[in-house]
Chains A and B, each alone.
Chain A
Amino acid sequence: MKISNEEVTYVADLSRLEFSEAETARMGEELGAVLDYVATLNAVDTTGVKATEHILNVQNVFREDEVGQSLSNEEALANAPEAESGCFKVPRVIE
């Protein structure tokens, strides 16, 4: 099953990715193959099998509500490509 160019472009857009025409076509083929592979699961008879809500068979892992050490402002911003007035700086976003 090939994924249509429109669908690839839509998903790429949501992921902030940009593809050339050739890449879009290739993505359509490859994503289609991935979905086909996953779809083999549909062949399994799951009548009477409880739906899986979560893949881990573990539950209730909690931490206590106790304050720990946070990073300093300098540490927090150490990896930021751009910073100003103690903040991360990003291209202007208009509300």
Chain B
Amino acid sequence: MEYDIVIGMEIHAELATKTKIFCSCPTTFGADENTHTCPVCLGMPGVLPVLNKKVVEYATKAGLALNCKIANFSKMDRKNYFYPDLPKAFQTSQFDLPICVGGVLDIEVGGETRPIGITRIHIEEDAGKLIHEGADGTLVDVNRCGVPLIEIVTEPDMRSAEEARAFAEKVRNILEYTGVSDCKMEEGSIRFDVNLSVKEKGSDVLGTRTEMKNLNSFRALERAVHYESKRQIIELKKGHRIIQETRKWDDVKGVSSSMRSKEEAHDYRYFPEPDLVPIVISDEEIARAKAELPELPEAKKARYVSEYGIPEYDASVITTSKVSAAYFEEAVAAYHEPKLIANWLMVDIPAHLKERELTMETIPFGPSALAKLVELIKSGAISGKIAKSVMEKMFEGEGDPEAIVKAHGWAQMSDSGELEAIIKQVIEDNPKSVSDIATGNKKAYGFLTGQVMRATKGQANPQMANQIIRKLVEAQIGKTE
């Protein structure tokens, strides 16, 4: 029996507002416990929540960027449940009239484009943080309570772990570009829940689904989907039933397990929030928000290919992050060699960043320095090999590439007289190579070039060195080609 995997996703993203959704407490991450609270977000009786204007603006932009229809009329509802991370005993969310509905996002996996439906996007408040370790009880930090979230709910349109990952990455990328969320996975500002079921291949009947919450990296998400789909298929093959449940993904062990905690029957008894009034957005406001959207990754990618002439692959790698795209554009503006600049941004720079635990946000030199480095290579002032050493120094904070080249005496040897003297010596020291060439073994040229590069510590201009080597060897052999 063959099976199809059916995946839907819920994505929570914290909005990049300065203040919480219903009160003026700050949203900054990492503050001391319970220092960003007020009677509203502590859930004191008798307080009046007032919706943050920016939340509506950001949710509208997110919806437009994800090709949703923006509702002219939406409202807030109470979702009731008891859990200590929620002092009010209800979460203010949206139930039947969310702010965005019916979007779609195309993803590309294995050369195939697949549309993934977005059911809805609604606004809601985040819950507090529970600290379990050590204490005999559970400790509650309310700082995160009331931080604004959007929840993006998809249709069950994804069919593999690769598709799920591609979709998650694309949504994160778009939200980051749109500037509505900082999307820092390590701070939990974007979180992925996966609903997964399997069904007999070709069947219209969906299987029972399980849910895995708060997958906190793309790798974890992909692995969790692989594991859980295999697990369900094995269960079905054994003749077992799949139990509808929430499962916990253990990324260290690489397994999912049932969360056997006393999971409540999910009966949230939603009802309209009487303290908050409806949100009405006019078509003019929607049009204005649309006009304000920045260039999104897809459009940027297409423009890089057409305007800068770099390969599509390069364009998609660079546009995966808003910061690296901006860096690229600035470097190209400073020195117009898009492909060479793209190469550095795709290979050497990521390797250095990884090794030094830096990111494009914390890279120690600006795009004009990278442009300068590329210019030095292009003009023949330094060799490609030396350029790598220069970059090393740039990462070590030595600053301007031109100054580094000067300070280390790395300028390429382009003085043909000086180079010719060195090459003469190399040829004299390697008579075997010359006789090899004389008998037709052209490979010996490569050996001689290597010796010259070694003798000059890599500072010889390779083209010039090759020319001189040929000239001198041929003169010695006494024949021309």
Chain A residues close to B by CB (< 8 Å): 10, 14, 16, 53-56, 58-73, 76-77, 82, 84-95
Contacts and interface: CB of A to CB of B under 8 A. Distances in A.
A21 to B, nearest CB: 22
B277 A90 contact: no
B135 A89 contact: yes
Interface of B: 17-19, 23-26, 32-39, 42, 50-54, 56, 73, 75, 80, 82-84, 97, 130-132, 135-142, 259, 261, 264-265, 267, 269, 272, 274, 276-280
Contacts of A77: 34
Nearest 9 pairs of A and B residues by beta carbon: A68-B24, A87-B139, A65-B54, A62-B53, A86-B33, A88-B140, A63-B50, A90-B84, A93-B138
Contact of A16 (B19, B23, B37, B82): B82
Contacts of B264: 14
Query: Interface of chain B, helix or strand or loop or mixed?
Result: loop
Given A53-B75, A55-B274, A68-B25, 20 more contacts: A54-B75, A54-B272, A61-B50, A61-B51, A62-B50, A63-B51, A63-B52, A66-B24, A67-B26, A69-B38, A70-B24, A73-B32, A85-B135, A86-B34, A87-B33, A87-B141, A88-B34, A93-B130, A93-B132, A95-B261
A60 B137 contact: no
Given A63-B50, A84-B139, A70 B36 contact: yes
Nearest to B84: A90
Contacts of B35: 70, 72-73, 76
B277 A56 contact: yes
A60 B131 CA distance: 37
Given A55-B274, A71-B37, A86-B32, A76 B142 contact: yes
A70 B38 contact: yes
Contacts of B26: 67, 70
B136 A92 contact: yes
B1 to A, nearest CB: 36
A14 B80 CA distance: 9
Contacts of A86: 32-34, 141
- Interface class of chain A by DSSP: loop
A63 B277 contact: no
A14 B84 CA distance: 14
B144 to A, nearest CB: 12
Which among B19, B97, B131 has the greatest number of chain A C-beta atoms within 10 A? B19
A53 B97 contact: yes
A6 to B, nearest CB: 13
A64 B53 contact: yes
A85 B139 contact: yes
B18 A14 contact: no
B138 A90 contact: yes
21 contacts: A14-B80, A14-B267, A14-B269, A54-B272, A55-B272, A60-B278, A60-B280, A61-B276, A61-B277, A63-B24, A63-B52, A66-B18, A84-B135, A86-B34, A87-B34, A87-B141, A88-B84, A89-B140, A90-B138, A93-B83, A95-B130
A44 B394 CA distance: 78
B16 to A, nearest CB: 10
Contacts of B23: 68
B278 A95 contact: no
A84 B97 CA distance: 40
Nearest to B129: A87
Given A65-B52, A67-B26, A54 B139 contact: no
B25 A88 contact: no
A10 B39 CA distance: 31
Contact of A70 (B18, B37, B136, B274): B37
A94 B133 CA distance: 10
B96 to A, nearest CB: 8
A64 B54 CA distance: 7
Given A61-B277, A86-B34, A89-B139, A53 B54 contact: no
